[in-house]
Amino acid sequence: MVDDGSGAEIMYSNLYKGLKLGPEDLMPYNSPLMSFDGKVVTPKGQIRLPVQTGPEIVEVDFIVVDTYSPYIAIGARPWLHTLGAVASTLHQKVKFPSEGRVLEIRGWQAMARKCLVVAISHRPRVELSTPVEENS
């Protein structure tokens, strides 16, 4: 997911583990973050990794978190600025200059909708309290 309103790139633990990275690969990162559901999340650490976008390869500092998300990672302003990219949520595209031309990454609306549905439906179950009987 691309979030041009965020100042931090996030990597979720399922991607981190899928890349076969371990705790020894992380640098310390001690600032808490706020998750989509409003809970405070303590990051596992930070890692700098190369990210290839078309022919461009840029180093990105990801904050690694172990919390639920329908996404595997979130690209944010630092990555967009390094690429010289412009993101359009209306058009579901990211455009960036490369080797004298403009390349684009297109969003996939159907998949974005599925991720939203999963995120909304994955709310923790709330135990309902027993109704209090009124004294008459």
**pLDDT tens for residues 50-85?**
998 888 889 999 999 998 887 889 899 999 999 999
* Strand (E) or helix (H) holding 116: helix 109-121
- pLDDT of res. 110: 76
Q: What is the pLDDT of residues 91-119, one digit of tens each?
A: 888 999 998 999 998 877 777 677 666 66
- pLDDT of res. 92: 83
Residue by residue, DSSP assigns 8-67 as SEEEEHHHHHHTT--GGGPBP----EE-TTS-EE---EEEEEEEEETTEEEEEEEEEE-S
What domains can you pick out in the chain, each with its CATH number?
Answer: 9-121 (2.40.70)
Mean pLDDT of the chain: 82
